[in-house]
Structure 1
Amino acid sequence: MTLKTLTTAFLTATVVTGAAFAESHAGTDNPMVGGAAMFADRNIVENAVNSADHTTLVAAVKAAGLVDTLMGDGPFTVFAPTNAAFDMISDESLNALLQPEAKAQLTQILTCHVVAANAMSDAIAGMIADDGGAHPVQTVGGCVLQAKMEGSRITLTDENGREASVTIADVRQSNGVIHVIDRVLLPTQ
């Protein structure tokens, strides 16, 4: 199955369920993501599938077999790259990663966006300040990201020097938190 087929299937599901979710979201203070309501009483996967900005991420999570993990108890902090972040990767490379033979590599890339903790942005900013301007973040995938502040925005730098900014912080989930980022981070290459 190609990335476009997976993305189309998730977009269809989003359109069908998104309106009902948005209507019941009005009373919460959780940010909207990708035009969809995010509910603190739903898990990471239940919320992510409704974001029009995260269809590629959801397709990749499914291809890597991580759906059940990210629906688990957690807690997890997920730095969630947008579709635009994945668009910085060539279609050929991205489609190759979604093939069954690349599952281990895809899993490592995705788990380099996950921390086994519930880390809200104020806690991350505090750790950055306590560590003199940069805080190492150990991910589930074995990567170490460097968290820094750029003005009031948190940035993450991977082991290859690629930098992502948190564009939407503190999207509470029943099993953790999502911080939306603008670039895909990679393990050492």
Structure 2
Amino acid sequence: MRKVIVSAALLVSSVALAGGGSAVPTGNTIAAIVANDPNFSTLLSAVQAAGLVETLSGPGPYTVFAPTNAAFAKVPQDQLTALLNNREQLRALLLYHVVPGRVTAAQVSGLSSATTASGGTLNITASGNTVRINDATVTRADIRASNGIIHVIDTVLMP
């Protein structure tokens, strides 16, 4: 499993560098929080490769359902490679993880669905202390950023 995570991170990093990437963001924006958490290194590389650093550093507000490195490692290698080699598909996938506005965990658990920045729909179910977004489970909620909020998920959301 570690080999898959490392392979995915290297693959994403090479795509980011080939595409020009972006400097590592600073401050307390969503992009900066992702950049400064080693559990999101694959997500950061994907955000850079898709050209979304500026968006996630902007004023927002945004709610981001952020998959960890372990979540990216669950994606079959051939699918991940294809995705990383197609900037538009990568961008659409990442924007599927973003909901316009600042939606806290308390608000999320009261919803049955949400419309994403890519125009897709996320299905939301809450049972006890567990909140699921499509097939992903929220493992950490309400990481506050200056331009929104992050909820950590254990699976990459596929439109």
TM-score by length of 2: 0.82
Overall identity of the aligned pairs, in %: 41
Correspondence 1:78 to 2:64: yes
CA distance in 1, matches of 2:98, 2:149: 10
Correspondence 1:65 to 2:31: no
CA distance in 1, matches of 2:127, 2:41: 28
Correspondence 1:142 to 2:116: no
CA distance in 2, matches of 1:56, 1:92: 16
Match for residue 94 of structure 1?
80
CA RMSD between the two structures: 2.0
- Give 2:66's aligned amino acid: A
CA distance in 1, matches of 2:71, 2:147: 24
Correspondence 1:176 to 2:158: no
Where 2:155 maps in the other structure, the secondary structure is coil
Structure 2 unaligned residues grouped into runs of 5+: 1-7, 17-26
CA distance in 1, matches of 2:129, 2:32: 29
CA distance in 1, matches of 2:127, 2:38: 27
TM-score by length of 1: 0.70
Where 1:178 maps in the other structure, the secondary structure is strand
Match for residue 28 of structure 1?
none
Where 1:95 maps in the other structure, the secondary structure is helix
Match for residue 130 of structure 2?
153
Where 1:109 maps in the other structure, the secondary structure is helix
Match for residue 44 of structure 1?
30
CA distance in 1, matches of 2:45, 2:28: 19
Match for residue 112 of structure 1?
96
2:106 to 122, 132, 154: 122
Q: Is the 8 A contact 2:9 2:41 kept in 1?
A: no
Q: How many residues align?
A: 141
- Shift of residue 79 of structure 1? 0.1
Q: Is the 8 A contact 1:3 1:95 kept in 2?
A: no
- Shift of residue 91 of structure 1? 2.6
- Shift of residue 90 of structure 1? 2.2
Where 2:125 maps in the other structure, the secondary structure is strand
- Shift of residue 185 of structure 1? 0.7
- Give 1:179's aligned amino acid: H
CA distance in 2, matches of 1:3, 1:42: 24
